[in-house]
Structure 1
Amino acid sequence: MEKWAFVSDFDGTISKKDFYWQVIDNYFPEGRELYTKWKNGEWNDIDFLAKVFASINRKEEQITEDILSIPVDEDVPDFVRRVQQAGGDFYILSAGTDYYIRPIVNYLGLEQVTVFSNKGVFRDQNIQLEIDPNHWSYSERYGIDKAAVIRRLKEEYDIVYFAGDSEPDSHPAELADRTYATGALPDILDEKSVSYVRFRRFNDIAADLAAEGRLPK
């Protein structure tokens, strides 16, 4: 029997809104100019996120409230459970931070979901990133090297599926056995000549896996 896993990005893939936009919209309007500089290549991804997350200046209770208000694809809880019931393992792989991902996973009632992400802690009324440059998955640009995580998972699993929506996801997409792409990712993968299956919501992925026989219909 094949051992398989489904790995998903979080922001813009599981969630419908990136957490950094939640912060910029609510507390850090200056972040819009910083966002432009980031997209122009003047800032590394992880430096941009660290600056935004360190610009909240609110009590932890307010931050938690903001986290749990992030809209999530309504299909996700059922999809995760279907994967697990079919014998697959579900992972979240994010270049954001586990500080906001884990509370949402718990809020959705999901169990046995492993999160690979940058470590975040609440300190001085902000989210501070604690990144270890000696960690096996360290990336100077993203904090976490998503491709390195997929490589390690492929040593453990016969089949690894991946879903993502943006540029950081293009690197693991090249290694996954099948990639599901949404948002900006399809155009990026087209430029790289990397194959993918386009999706809009997780029910689309479930239907594809069911047609393959990976999930029960």
Structure 2
Amino acid sequence: MKIYLDPGHGGSDSGATGNGLAEKNVTLAIALKINDILLTEYRNAETRLSRTTDKTVTLQERTDDANSWGADLFVSIHTNAFDGTAYGYEDYIYSGLSDESVTALYQRIIHEEVIKLNGLRDRGMKKANFHVLRETVMHAILTENGFIDHPDDSAKMKSAAWIEQTARGHVNGIAKCLGLAKSGTSSYQLTVDGGQIGTYQEKADALQLISSHWGAFQTAMIEKR
């Protein structure tokens, strides 16, 4: 399964700033850790990043690259800012998608897994007309990992342990969405309405996904691989 990781901003575009931090650096740290965990711990994960260093990449370049590569999932990683009073985690999918779409299902799964580990206030699941959500041809989600101008959220961002926990929350969600299999294990492929959702290490995990979202599709098939 191909996962495209998009650390927001970079280079001449610092993104949001606050409390001695720049968004472009926090997002890159999270993305690199997600990439490391995926490649180290899962045998059927292939990754690509819009940037691996502090360089400028346009929004069009990001989506063009992901589309031409043929990604299965696009994850854009950001931090938020407002006026120093707002705080917490939220994520977005494209505003043109229904709540019954597979992308919305992926959002619910990733949101739940990230919130379990990041220690941030839950600001909910949202939709927006962001370029990276609109112009990607695969399932796409954008995560806003705290408010960089809030003292409590930014203090967490300065912690390597928080970066790792936030990354692992993303990975846990991605793995559930795509059914990534741990290295050295057998797996079960899940197909919903004729399209492959992912490959799961445990059959019970595939069954749980089916039962939890029974109304979102018509047919489901599990095949041992």
Give the TM-score, by structure 1 length.
0.29
- Between Structure 1 and Structure 2, which shows a larger proportion of strand residues? 2
Give the TM-score, by structure 2 length.
0.28
